[in-house]
Each structure stands twice: as C-alpha cells, then as structure tokens.
Amino acid sequence: MDQGIIIAILATAVTAGTPILYAALGEIITERSGTLNLGVEGMMLVGAVSGFMAAYVSGNPWLGFGAAMAAGGAVSLIHAFLTITLRANQVVCGLALTIFGTGFSSYIGKPFVGIPLKETFKPVEIPFLSDIPVIGPIFFNHDPLVYISYLLIILLAFLIYRTRWGLNLRAVGENPAAADSAGISVSITRYQSVFIGGMLAGAGGAYLSLAYAPSWLENMTAGRGWIAVALVIFAMWDPYKALLGSYIFGGVEALGFRLQTMNVTISPFFLKMLPYILTIVVLIIVTRETKTRKVGAPAALGQPYHREDR
C-alpha cells in the first residue's frame, strides 16, 4: 500500500471513530458519578433520528445537532429518574432504555427512512494545520463536528480534573456517603452527569445521521453505543484515552471498508465482524490489566445511594 492510501484510511478512522468518541465521552462523565447507563445505544438512536428530522425540516444541520443533544439528554432523564430517584436496577434500566430507544426511533423516523439530507456537515480545511504533511490530512481536513470533539476532550478533562464540579463528581462516584456528609448533593450531581452523558450520546448519533452517512435508517448505530460502553473501560474513565480507543475502532471499520473495495478474498461479512471481535478482545485484555494494576472503575459504580441505608 502506498502512503496516500494509508493516510486516507487513517483519515476515515477519525470520522468513523467520532460518533463512538462522543458517546464514550458522555458515558465517562456518567460513570464517573457512579451511575452506569447501558442505554447509550438507545440514546444514540434517538439522537440520530431527532437530529436528522430537525435538520431535514429546518434545512440547518446545526439545528439538527442541537436537537439531537436535547433529545438524547431528555431520554437520559428517564434513566436518571428510575435509577437515582426510584433506585431501580441500573443494568436492566439501561437495557430498557436501549430497547425503548430502538422502538421509539423507528416509530418517529418511519416517514424519513432513506431520504438523503441536502444540508449536511461538510469538511472544512483548517488553514496552516491542514498543510502539515501526514498529520494535516488525517486530523485537520474534516467537518466541524470532528473539531468540536477535539475541543470537547480538553474541556471535559479540565472539568473532571481541574474544577470543583469535577471533584464533586469524582467524590460522588468513589464514595457517595462521604460526599454526602461533605454537603454535596449526590442525586443532583448524578442527575447532571447522566444528562450530560445523554446529550453527548445524542450528539454521537447525530454525527452518524448528519455527517458520517447523512440519512436515517432504522438501527443505524449498529452496536456503536455498546462499543462506546466498552471503550469507557478501555479508556479507564479518562477522556484522553477515549480518543485513542475511538480511533482504533474507527480504524478497524475504515480498514474493513477499504479491503472490501480492494477485491480481497475475505467475505465482507467477516470484515464487518472485526470491530465487534476487537471489542471483545480489547475488553478481556484491559480488564485483566486493570485488575493487576489496581486502577479501575469508580468504586460506587452501579450502586444506588440512599442516605438511610448506610
């Protein structure tokens, strides 16, 4: 393979990884507060369909992007209410959200299936940066949503590690009882983190329906929400590592596409399996690694908190 093809694959890796990146960043915030939301796939689908509908009706993809974040945030509040206020089982509730999101997005998206979107997000070269050899075409010749995701990583890392809110968030996720006695409201912090997670999952879905493959198809996320959940573990709940992970997954997807067009003898169905197989393998390696290195999930992840039961 010559250099041009490799650069093209790596550039596709970035765009293919971006929807997963948005969703994974959101889930990192959610899980940092000790709340597990397995409804990412459903929230992404709701985001993808509402983003598409808003962009199609208004003719403005930015409005679509905003609508997707609002819709993702709105459905995430169902999860927040059930798990935080009513203390429901977080795993089953997340599954319910995914099933609901699948059905809901099919229902409201029915009239829009297969219609191409006229106004989509288009690549914008960043002056100077896009002229850097190799790095430029890979990272700085994309649509604006990719650039927003770069900024988002820095913003979220700053929020988590350098602000009072981030400290509270981590305290609630590690030891909610101690955070509570320090005067931090556990439930308000958790509501906020679930809502942010929902908005970003919606944004990830919108990236699919507005930029990556501008159209709406039932189940168009095809498991990317679940890959994002796995990626959070791979990233060890750190935004910077989520970037690397997303692009590895994007890269595998991009490589699969490229091999299909190059008439290799492998069946396209086996190439399509690659990201899912990779997720399993990576998850096994990373889980073993985190066990030996004793770094891992927020200590209170998945446990409901209520004051009287301490």
Partner 1 sequence: MRLITLEKRMSPIPMAGMVIPVISIALALLAGGVFLALSGKNPLEIYFTLFQSAFGSSYGFSETVVKAIPLALCALGVSLAFRVQLWNIGAEGQFYMGAMAATWVALTYPEGSRWVVLPAMFLAAAMAGGLWGLLPAIPRAFWKVNETITTLMLNYIAIFWVDFLIYGPWKDPNGYNFPLTAPFELGATLPSFGTSRVHYGLILALIAALLVYIILKYTVWGYQLKVVGESQRAAKYAGMSIVKTILLVMLISGALAGIAGMTEVAGITQRLQQGLSPGYGYSAIIIAWLARLNPWAILLVSFLFGGLLSGGFSLQSMGLPAASVYMLQGLILFFILGGEIFNSYRLKWIGGRS
273 is an interface residue for partner 1 by CB under 8 A: yes
Contacts of 174 (CB under 8 A, 6+ apart): 34, 298, 299, 300
Among 70, 88, 124, 259, binds partner 1 (CB under 8 A): 88
288 is an interface residue for partner 1 by CB under 8 A: yes
Written as six digits, the tokens of 34 are: 């000790």
What does the alpha-carbon distance between residue 236 and residue 205 come to, in Å, rounded to a whole number?
A: 23
Contact 236, 31 (CB under 8 A): no
What does the alpha-carbon distance between residue 251 and residue 16 come to, in Å, rounded to a whole number?
A: 7
Question: How long is the chain?
Answer: 310
Is the Cβ of residue 67 or residue 152 nearer to partner 1 in the bound state? 67
95 is an interface residue for partner 1 by CB under 8 A: yes
Contact 62, 183 (CB under 8 A): no
151 is an interface residue for partner 1 by CB under 8 A: no
Provide the mask over 232-261, with x wherever binding to partner 1 is found by CB under 8 A and - wherever it is not: -x----------------------------
What does the alpha-carbon distance between residue 306 and residue 187 come to, in Å, rounded to a whole number?
A: 9
52 is an interface residue for partner 1 by CB under 8 A: no
220 is an interface residue for partner 1 by CB under 8 A: no
Sign of the CA dihedral with 31 first, then 183, 75, and 95 last:
positive
93 is an interface residue for partner 1 by CB under 8 A: yes
Among 3, 262, 269, 293, binds partner 1 (CB under 8 A): 269
Footprint on this chain of partner 1 (rule: CB under 8 A)? 38, 42, 78, 81-82, 86-89, 91-93, 95-97, 99-104, 106-108, 110, 218, 222-223, 226-227, 229-230, 233, 267, 269-270, 272-273, 276-277, 279-280, 283-284, 287-288, 291, 308
